[in-house]
Structure 1
Amino acid sequence: MRRARTLALALLAALACATRPARPPPPPAASAAPAAAPAASARAVPDRWWDGAVFYEVFVRSFDDSDGNGMGDFAGLTAKLDYLNDGNPGTTTDLGVDALWLMPIMKSPSYHGYDVTDYEQVNPQYGTEAGFERFVQEAHRRGLRVILDLVLNHTSDAHPWFRESAKGPQSPKRDWYVWSPTDLGWTQPWNAQSGSTWHERNGAFYYGVFWGGMPDLNYRNPEVREEAKRIARFWLAKGVDGFRLDAIRHLIETGPGKGQAGSPENHVFLREFAAAVKAAKPDAMLVGEVWSDAGDIAEYYGDGKDELDMLFDFPLATAIVQGVKEGDPGRITNALDDVKRLYPPGAVDAPFLTNHDQIRVATQLGDDPARLRLAAAILLTLPGAPFLWQGEELGMQNGPGNEDEWKRTPMPWDGSPKGGFTTGQPWMELAPGHERANVAAETGDPGSLLSRYRALVRARHQSPALARGGIEVLDAGAPGVLAYLRRGEGETVLVVHGLGDDPVDVALTAPAAGAEPLLVDAGGAIAAEGGKVRVKLPARRSAIWRVR
């Protein structure tokens, strides 16, 4: 039998040595069921359908329950697809998103699914394989792309691979995980005060950067690398359009501290993995989680073509939320400047406000309607492919605790005690305020946050410059004002946001001829003045004009 390697030995060895369509086109017809409702028009698939697309993150367990057992499922999600995108670009009653990111749906012992026990089986609590495939077909029929959360860094300690690996040094799966005969005493790289990341099992120690229930896979092992590629091909063959890659800074460790995050070997494997994914499906998309600064994030684009297609922009997300909260655009302009300076040419940013790991933006902004509308307008007028977190468009608040479950509470479809989410007992109680922040209450209200998101997504689809153009931040010469031009596809769009307490009255060096409103809050005005353009806005309002 092949002799098992330990990380300690590996460490010693290391020391020794243009015109965009209104919406992204639907997936190829071969992966879609015959249309029974208006569908997005068929077009040749562009190289990068995700560039400018609007994504929506879904936690299936909390989206919609079809059978009354208190947990969301594939059937519930399928039934609610028209809320997300009804397949008809001419309607205004859907949110209008272009793609869905599903948090882990593979078999797992936990509620969240980030500790997989079978990469080829769907979580039976969510439904059957047939139910999942029907969901993908129905999504595709509406022109919606589907990407899955793929957890490559680690498995559950209940995974058969790990159980076999833990049997001893002679196990054929021993080298699928990272083992050491002693506890090397490394702490978590983001928390030097935490306990060891080495965990005892059967007289030896295995590495698990998050906790003992999630042992890290060993990507120095070619068998593990090939298995990861095979799993990706398995799901691509089922019609999915790409993957969100979890915790990719931690794939391969070279030592304690900084060696546990961002090693050069991570990039070697990710380029190899990306090449395999593109070979299997050339238009598949990969978006990665690198929770770090802009410099670290930029490295995972490779040269802009050979590694990941998109990376979540955590610094920009923090900057938007804090900038809106404090009324100061400086954080935002600094973050945008970092992207411009550090990202490779052609890189597609993935901006967002919050995700499933963070306190919800409505809670961070004090449930302030004006600030929530402002944050939405900033997000959806920036370059890249913005991601919305389920319920964000309603102003869903966090639950009363900081535990992750309180960030992922059920979607409120109406104001009833169970929120229209289930007829049974919800797996988690609904967030406070759901009686008024829900789909039913906001759908018919033109002043609601949901209506705001719908209008912003429509404006983005109607404007090639907003969807895929570049950005030029303007010097507003006044505190609390964020202004920029978006240019692309023969179009120029002027965007102005008032973040502060005072009304906006600024003269900008920008074109103003033939200003056409795309979305202008009440009280917004624009006029040419002495070679500049004067913009007026009430406090905490936004305006978007197409200009010449």
Structure 2
Amino acid sequence: MKKYLYLSFLFVLVLLSSCSTSPEKNIENHWPHAGITYEIFVQSFYDSDGDGIGDFNGVTKKLDHVKELGANAIWFMPIMPSPSYHKYDVTDYKAIHPDYGTIDDFKLMLQKAHEKDIKIVIDLIINHTSSKHPWFVESRKGRDNPYRDYYVWAQKDTIADFLNKKAITLDSDNIRQWHDPGVGEDFYYGFFIDGMPDLNFDNPKVREEIYEIGRFWLEEIGVDGFRLDAAKHIFPDDRAVDNHAFWKEFRSEMTKIKPDVYLVGEVYDMKEVVAPYLPGLPALFNFDFHYTLLRAYEEENGMLLAKNQKEILDYYQEISEEFIDATFSSNHDQPRLLNSLDSNPKKLKQAITILMSMPGAPYLYYGEEIGMLGKKPDENIREPFLWDIKANDTGRATWIEAVYSIDEMVTPLSIQKSMSTSFFNHYKEVIKLRNSNRALALGDLTLFDQELPKPLMAFFRSYEDQKLFVVHNLSDQTISIEAPKDFDEVLYNLGLGTLDEKMIVLPPYSSVMLTKK
């Protein structure tokens, strides 16, 4: 009898072992290299206490939504005390904005998220502080103040030629970078606006303050990583080498606390400028992906995105084999994706399908999964999430009166859940496909090298012995092409794309993924 019990026990162990190596489980364990991260603006997500502002208790309540969608992590836009609604000008780096709750509320959310295998990444804004931060309040008191050298100061006569110089960059159209505090002849430097004075990273004390802030959130609170805002602007553009060196140092300090800490940087520029940041910031946002995706639709030029992505991946691979390509189709700084795609629902569904069929670690902006709308100014790209129809939506934030994402224009989540053709159910379907398919999540990208009609995007995804052929039609015309040899089974189709014997038939804005039997 004992013998049979022992054999039964071994059989159970074998079953458990086989379950633990299923494709979906393994792919989830590959976060952040292949996982999906969901970006949340807490203020607009879910209001748990009826004050009109989203909060962390609300996030805790809606973690199941993130899990159901298929995301592996959450990136929170700024969560620390700040005088601005967006909170990119911090006044206290070791606290939670009171509108969002308490540090205990955040810890509870973190605990519940980790119980659901959801990682937590927070925005860390260290290029600058708020002009109301205690450090700056002290700094502006005079040249002899101990905090004076925490910021960049210069006498007016030494910077006269720069005072009215308009500096246009990809991530800022600011007119003035040197600002008068009104307390003498000294001006301070603030790359973005006067309310955001830049910290002086030539000062070792400043660097140690920043490392201590990182240690606090990693060690005492337990977050999984940071999104580093304005990573290109720690030092001025003409000191790029110093920027690269700082981020290497920052990474070294953070890995002492958490060896697997996730660091994703915002470096908005050409690949040649972005690539040298990889040794310090192993994950970098791929802004080219977003803009080239939109251009591909505008020009009905399918291979434009595929060729650009292949070029970037090959280029970065030469710099660092461990780089993480943080792709995205939209975020908090760009108009909502549906607006950018002419409010065409077919394009929106295909755009997320393209994102999920490409290599990288995709980011999803909250609300895109229900087709939320929004245009500049930024506040209207960050409008409240629509959980239910307005009359029943007790958790909908009201801090701003929505202009675009309103019931008359966007179908709330509660209704979309019961609609088989809804945006939400499409997002769930294509994310599940990616999360359960190794070639889509982890595979290499190889371009289809045969001549194609201009609107078609076609490529192969390969991982070990699995190979997929993916084709997207970015036009409003039906197009047919011959399937590559031996690709004779449809893994996935969108928009009634089909395989008819050896011909792939692609109606407007349709996609087909083929595998081998």
Relative to the length of structure 1, the TM-score reads 0.84
Q: Does structure 2 conserve the Cα–Cα contact (< 8 Å) formed by 1:98 and 1:143?
A: yes
**What is the match of residue 190 of structure 1?**
169
Aligned length: 483
**1:60-99 Cα deviation digits (max 9, x unpaired):** 00000001110000011110110110xxxxxxxx101001
Amino acid at match of 1:486: R
> Does the Cα contact within 8 Å between 1:103 and 1:149 map onto a contact in 2?
yes
Identity of aligned residues (%): 36
2:166 maps to a residue whose letter is: T
Residues 300-355 of structure 1: per-residue CA shift (max 9 Å, x gap): 113xxxx2121111111111123134422143133213313421343221111111
CA drift at 1:224: 1.0
Distance in 2 (alpha carbons) for counterparts of 1:425 and 1:418: 14
Letter in 2 for 1:507: E
Q: Name structure 2 gaps, 5 residues minimum.
A: 1-20
Name the structure 1 match of 2:273. 296
Partner of 1:452: 426
Aligned-residue Cα RMSD (Å) equals 2.1
Residue in 1 aligned with 2:475? 500
Q: How far is 1:269 from its partner?
A: 0.3
Matches within 5 A, 1:433-452: 433-435=406-408, 436-452=410-426
| Aligned partner of residue 496 in structure 1, secondary structure | strand
The answer to whether structure 1 residue 207 and structure 2 residue 189 are counterparts is yes
Larger mean Cα displacement after TM superposition, 314-323 or 193-202 = 193-202
**Is 2:340 the partner of 1:364?**
yes
Counterpart CA distance in 1 for 2:429 and 2:76 is 24
2:507 is matched by which residue type in structure 1?
P
Tell me, yes or no, if the aligned pair for 2:23 and 2:437 is still in contact at 8 Å.
Answer: no
The alignment status of 1:52 with 2:34, answered yes or no, reads: yes
Quick one: distance in 2 between partners of 1:509 and 1:102?
Answer: 43
Distance across 1 between alignment mates of 2:173 and 2:117:
48
Equivalents in 1 of 2:174, 2:378: separation in Å?
19
Whole-Å Cα distance in 2 between the matches of residues 297 and 310 of structure 1?
11
The 8 Å contact of residues 116 and 155 in structure 1, kept in 2 or not, is answered as: yes
Alignment match of 1:245 (pick from 221, 228, 239): 228
Q: Distance in 1 between matches of 2:271 and 2:167?
A: 21
Instruction: Judge which range, 319-328 or 363-372, deviates more.
Output: 319-328
Note the C-alpha offset of 1:25.
8.1
The answer as to whether partners of 1:497 and 1:540 remain within 8 angstroms in 2 is yes
In structure 2, the residue matched to 1:429 is 402
| C-alpha contact 1:57 1:388 (8 A) present in aligned 2 | yes
User: Which one-letter code corresponds to 1:537 in the other structure?
Assistant: L
Aligned to 1:315: 288
Q: 1:523 offset after TM fit, Å?
A: 3.0
What is the CA–CA distance in structure 2 between the aligned matches of 1:189 and 1:23, rounded to whole Å? 46
**1:301 and 1:193, CA in 2 relative to 1: closer, same or farther beyond 3 A?**
closer
Q: Do 1:188 and 1:210's aligned partners in 2 also have CA atoms closer than 8 Å? A: no
1:387 shift after superposition? 0.4
| TM-score normalised by length of structure 2 | 0.89
Match of 1:282 in 2: 259
| d(CA) in 2 for partners of 1:413, 1:316 | 29
| Structure 1 residues 70 and 430, CA gap change in structure 2 (3 angstroms) | farther
Distance 2:124 2:378 in 1: 19
Structure 2 CA distance, aligned partners of 1:481 and 1:289? 31
C-alpha distance in structure 2 between counterparts of 1:447 and 1:420, whole Å: 26
Q: Is the 8 A contact 1:106 1:118 kept in 2?
A: yes
Give the letter aligned to residue 380 of structure 1. Answer: M
Query: In the alignment, is the contact (CA less than 8 A) between 2:434 and 2:440 conserved in 1?
Result: yes
Q: CA deviation at 1:397?
A: 0.6
Residues of 2 paired with 1:510 and 1:106: CA distance? Answer: 55
Where does residue 220 of structure 1 map in the other structure? 202
> Any idea what SS the aligned residue of 2:274 has?
helix
Match of 1:30 in 2: none
Match of 2:135 in 1: 161
Q: 1:484 aligns with which of 428, 449, 459?
A: 459
Query: Match for 1:440: what amino acid?
Result: S
Structure 1, unpaired ranges of 5+: 1-18, 27-45, 86-93
Query: How many Å apart are 1:546 and its aligned residue?
Result: 3.0
Question: Are 1:543 and 2:516 counterparts?
Answer: no
Find the residue that maps to 1:195 and give its secondary structure.
Answer: coil
- Report the 3-state secondary structure (helix = DSSP H, G, I; strand = E; otherwise coil) of the residue aligned with 2:179: strand
Q: Describe the superposition over 1:261-317 as per-residue Cα deviations: whole angstroms up to 9, x where unpaired.
A: x61100000000011111210111111111112222222113xxxx21211111111
1:410 offset after TM fit, Å? 0.4
Aligned partners of 2:476 and 2:507 also within 8 Å: no
Find the aligned partners of 2:360 and 2:199 in 1 and give their Cα distance. Answer: 32
Cα deviation for residue 414 of structure 1 reads: 1.7
Tell me: CA distance 1:484–1:105, structure 2 relative to 1, closer, same or farther (3 Å). Answer: same
Q: Indicate if the aligned counterparts of 1:20 and 1:464 stay in contact, CA closer than 8 A.
A: no
Please give the per-residue CA displacement for 1:100-159, whole angstroms capped at 9, x wherever unaligned. 000000111111110000000110100011100000011111110000000010000000
Q: Is the 2:306–2:459 Cα contact (8 Å) retained in structure 1?
A: no
Q: Report the 3-state secondary structure (helix = DSSP H, G, I; strand = E; otherwise coil) of the residue aligned with 1:106.
A: coil
Tell me whether 276-285 or 129-138 shows the greater mean CA deviation. Answer: 276-285
Which of 253, 256, 268 lines up with 2:245 in the alignment? 268
Further displaced range: 313-322 or 134-143: 313-322
| Aligned equivalent of 1:89 | none
Q: Partner amino acid for 1:163?
A: V
- Structure 2 Cα separation of the partners of residues 236 and 456 of structure 1: 33
- Aligned-residue offset at 1:421: 3.5
Q: In structure 2, do the counterparts of structure 1 residues 152 and 384 end up closer, same or farther at CA, with 3 Å as the change threshold?
A: same
